[in-house]
A and B are shown apart, each in its own frame.
Chain A
Amino acid sequence: MNQLLKRKSKGDMWFDIVNYFMLTIVMLLVLFPLYFVLIASLSDPNLIYSGEVWFFPKGFTLDGYGRIFSDSSIWIGYANSILYAGLGTLIGVAVTVCAAYPLARKGLAGKSAIMWFLLISMFFSGGLIPTYLLIKDLHMLNTIWALVIPGAGGVFNVIIVRTFFQSTIPDEMWEAASIDGCSNTRFFWSIVLPLSKSVIAVMVLYHVVGFWNGFFDALIYLNDENKYPLQLVLRNILVQNQANSGMMIDVESYAAKMRVTELIKYGVIMVSSLPLLILYPFLQKYFVKGVMIGSIKG
């Protein structure tokens, strides 16, 4: 069999050459923008402006990072994002895992009704305004709770975890444990959870990334700038061009200001994305695992 695979016709050889070539191009097209942000963030803004930075940083400077880190709004954003991601992940994962376990059990009365109860919300929702009015009536506006509670227990995540339980924790295990007098809660704590570390890791990652990158809920529900997560701070700098005056202290002329603003933009892109981009190659297999379990029809 191996020999058969190795014996290549001319057409197959061309196929491979074209394939490798095109995938390499695709990879470079994806990589270059990310790489360029990195080198631009380390280059002299005047040289970026005149279009002399292409493949390597020119006029190396850490000025952009210096300005970014001396600005309090970035630090506040960072701290808020860590808080929201931490608490949100804790709540989200707990709700998801607790909900998924009973739904994975055979013979739970009303199981499919509960599943439908969750699924319907995927196809039909109250929409933006009714949800906003509810949050307002509950006095959750401008609080962390508006960001971490309403979205907890997303259906897709519940399905992923449920599928994992169904395929790794056989019912016989529970039957054996219950004969020995084990309660459901005890079984969940001392057997199900320890066996599910990998799917819990997947859930933690999904939630952390979601909270770290999310800005829509914060945009709608928060109005106090001291509560803004990092993404909202970034939006002001990157999209609305409102670099904080603190970052511009010593810049006089308008032209120089424009240039420093650009440098700061490259810098904040790095500062905000770096934690995830550095971690991600190590965590990649968990993400892939998550997508795979999720794709098994539940």
Chain B
Amino acid sequence: MVNSRTSELDHSTIKPNRKIWNQIKRDYELYLFLLPIIIIYLVFKYYPMYGIQIAFKDFSPSRGIWGSEWVGFKHFIDFFDSYNFWTIMTNTLTLSVLSLVFSFPAPIIIAIMLNQMLAKRYKKIVQTVIYAPHFISTVVLVGMLNVFLSPNSGIVNHIITLFGGDPIMFLADEGWFRPLYILSGVWQETGFATIIYLAALAGVNPELHEAAIMDGASKWKRVMHVDIPSILPTIVILLILALGNIMGIGFEKAFLMQNDLNYATSNIIPTYVYEIGIQKAQYSFSTAIGLFNSVVNIILIITVNRIAKKLTETSLW
């Protein structure tokens, strides 16, 4: 091991840059293939990172990013001191943590159940149906919430009144924003999210099941002691990704579901960044909030990854 490493080192020191240059010359076409993506990333991903500095400046369009004056952490402090800082933080965290708690386990359970289904045809039908909502756009999903939950004509309120209840103004009620956001998310994405777990379950060594059957294990026991432990690495990876994205909760649905009446719970960081930045054109303040959000997010994903590595020896990197 040690020997091979040193010989590799020698190899590269004896033939220095010459070799790499020859390689690049030989493969120049491959680098041309890479050129478009590199240009796109430099311009549209990396240049905006340079633009982040306006979070520490008072950006004025006429003076440009570079010419605007430095103000240090002023915008961050303003945000932390603002009267709605805690509301927005609480809303963002509550919404994403609750979404995760309810939407993360669902596909695992459904995948395990589907995996136990022996009738192939029926299984296929169930799968086709439960994947389908994934292909519905966010606008249509929120539109469906609107028509189903309409206080006058929606089917949900028809059912409520049928059982003698009073119609509920679901979308105009701040208390209903979170349940609706989460439930509609579960409805839309659970099916599609099962695909990965089904793939993992298909990879479970059949000999483990055979051995368990020999030992007289029931289906339930095999699920608990064979299936679940076998897909645990997949679960951990997806959990890290999900936890790391806690602050990155989607803008689109919250924005579409938001109205003046549910603002108290629907005002989350991404919608606030949009409101302040695009609608009110306070570019620097909005950028500062966005930056705060992504920094928290990066810290989260690094921490979670580290913890996962220690506890389960599974990690993203």
Residues of chain A at the chain B interface (Cβ within 8 Å): 1, 4-5, 9, 11-12, 15-16, 19-20, 22-24, 26-27, 29-31, 33-34, 36-37, 40, 48-49, 51, 53-54, 94-96, 98-99, 101-103, 105, 107-110, 114, 117-118, 121, 123-134, 149-153, 158, 183-185, 188, 209, 212-216, 220, 231, 234-235, 237-239, 258-259, 262, 265-266, 268-269, 272-273, 276-277, 280-281, 284, 287-288, 291-292, 295
**Also in contact, A284 and B128, with CB within 8 A (given A11-B218, A11-B219, A118-B41):** yes
Residue contact B294 to A109, C-beta cutoff 8 Å: no
Which residues in A have their C-beta under 8 angstroms from that of B136? 213, 273, 276-277
Q: Which of B41, B54, B146 contacts A129 (CB 8 A)?
A: B54
Chain B contact residue count (CB 8 A cutoff): 90
Residue contact A31 to B140, C-beta cutoff 8 Å: no
B185 part of interface (Cβ distance < 8 Å): no
Which residues in B have their C-beta under 8 angstroms from that of A216? 251-252
Residue contact A99 to B51, C-beta cutoff 8 Å: no
Q: Which of B29, B40, B45 contacts A126 (CB 8 A)?
A: B45
Q: Which of B24, B191, B219, B298 contacts A124 (CB 8 A)?
A: B298
A-B pairs with beta carbons under 8 Å apart, 29 shown:
A15-B220, A51-B153, A53-B155, A95-B36, A101-B30, A105-B30, A108-B27, A109-B24, A109-B27, A114-B38, A130-B47, A130-B52, A133-B51, A133-B283, A134-B51, A152-B37, A153-B41, A185-B29, A212-B137, A213-B135, A213-B137, A239-B256, A265-B146, A269-B143, A273-B140, A277-B136, A291-B195, A292-B196, A295-B234
Q: How far is the CA of A159 from the CA of B33 in the complex (A)?
A: 15
Residue contact A127 to B113, C-beta cutoff 8 Å: no
Q: How far is the CA of A125 from the CA of B213 in the complex (A)?
A: 51
Residue contact A149 to B40, C-beta cutoff 8 Å: yes
B161 part of interface (Cβ distance < 8 Å): yes
Interface string of B141-165 (1 = CB under 8 A from A): 0111011101011010010011000
Which residues in B have their C-beta under 8 angstroms from that of A238? 139-140, 142-143, 146-147
Which among A22, A129, A262, A277 has the highest number of chain B CB atoms within 10 Å? A129
B289 vs chain A, min Cβ distance (A): 9
Residue contact A127 to B152, C-beta cutoff 8 Å: no
Residue contact A34 to B199, C-beta cutoff 8 Å: no
Q: How far is the CA of A95 from the CA of B287 in the complex (A)?
A: 29
Q: How far is the CA of A287 from the CA of B274 in the complex (A)?
A: 32
Q: Which of A101, A125, A128, A183 contacts B286 (CB 8 A)?
A: A128
Residue contact A272 to B150, C-beta cutoff 8 Å: no
> Which secondary structure characterizes the binding site on chain A?
helix
Instruction: Closest A residue to B118 by CB, please name it.
Output: A16
Q: How far is the CA of A125 from the CA of B51 in the complex (A)?
A: 10
Residue contact A277 to B135, C-beta cutoff 8 Å: yes
Q: Which of B36, B118, B301 contacts A153 (CB 8 A)?
A: B36
Name the interface residues of B26-65: CB closer than 8 Å to any CB of A. Answer: 27, 29-31, 33-34, 36-38, 40-41, 43-52, 54, 65
Instruction: Closest A residue to B317 by CB, please name it.
Output: A119
Given contacts A30-B187, A127-B294, 13 further A-B contacts (CB under 8 A): A12-B218, A49-B153, A95-B40, A102-B27, A109-B24, A117-B41, A125-B49, A126-B49, A128-B273, A183-B29, A184-B30, A239-B256, A280-B135
9 cross-chain pairs, A with B, having the tightest CB-CB distances, nearest first: A126-B48, A130-B51, A238-B143, A51-B158, A213-B137, A127-B290, A102-B30, A184-B29, A130-B48
Residue contact A27 to B130, C-beta cutoff 8 Å: yes
Q: How far is the CA of A150 from the CA of B43 in the complex (A)?
A: 8
A239 vs chain B, min Cβ distance (A): 5
Q: How far is the CA of A34 from the CA of B114 in the complex (A)?
A: 22
**Also in contact, A295 and B199, with CB within 8 A (given A239-B143, A262-B150):** yes
**Also in contact, A22 and B113, with CB within 8 A (given A51-B158, A102-B33, A239-B143):** yes
**Also in contact, A288 and B138, with CB within 8 A (given A98-B37, A126-B48):** no
Q: Which of B24, B155, B195 contacts A292 (CB 8 A)?
A: B195
B131 part of interface (Cβ distance < 8 Å): yes
B313 vs chain A, min Cβ distance (A): 14
Which residues in A have their C-beta under 8 angstroms from that of B117? 19-20, 23
Residue contact B132 to A129, C-beta cutoff 8 Å: no
**Also in contact, A11 and B273, with CB within 8 A (given A33-B148, A125-B48):** no
A205 vs chain B, min Cβ distance (A): 10
Residue contact B33 to A98, C-beta cutoff 8 Å: yes
Residue contact B132 to A34, C-beta cutoff 8 Å: yes
Residue contact A123 to B140, C-beta cutoff 8 Å: no
Which residues in B have their C-beta under 8 angstroms from that of A188? 29, 33
Residue contact A16 to B191, C-beta cutoff 8 Å: no
Which among B122, B126, B153, B219 has the highest number of chain A CB atoms within 10 Å? B153
Residue contact A123 to B301, C-beta cutoff 8 Å: yes
Residue contact A30 to B37, C-beta cutoff 8 Å: no
Q: Which of B20, B131, B195, B210 contacts A109 (CB 8 A)?
A: B20
Residue contact B138 to A215, C-beta cutoff 8 Å: yes
Instruction: Closest A residue to B282 by CB, please name it.
Output: A129
Q: How far is the CA of A232 from the CA of B154 in the complex (A)?
A: 23
B303 vs chain A, min Cβ distance (A): 13
A274 vs chain B, min Cβ distance (A): 11
B110 part of interface (Cβ distance < 8 Å): yes
**Also in contact, A127 and B287, with CB within 8 A (given A9-B218, A269-B143):** yes
Q: How far is the CA of A94 from the CA of B150 in the complex (A)?
A: 44
Residue contact A235 to B139, C-beta cutoff 8 Å: yes
Residue contact A220 to B128, C-beta cutoff 8 Å: no
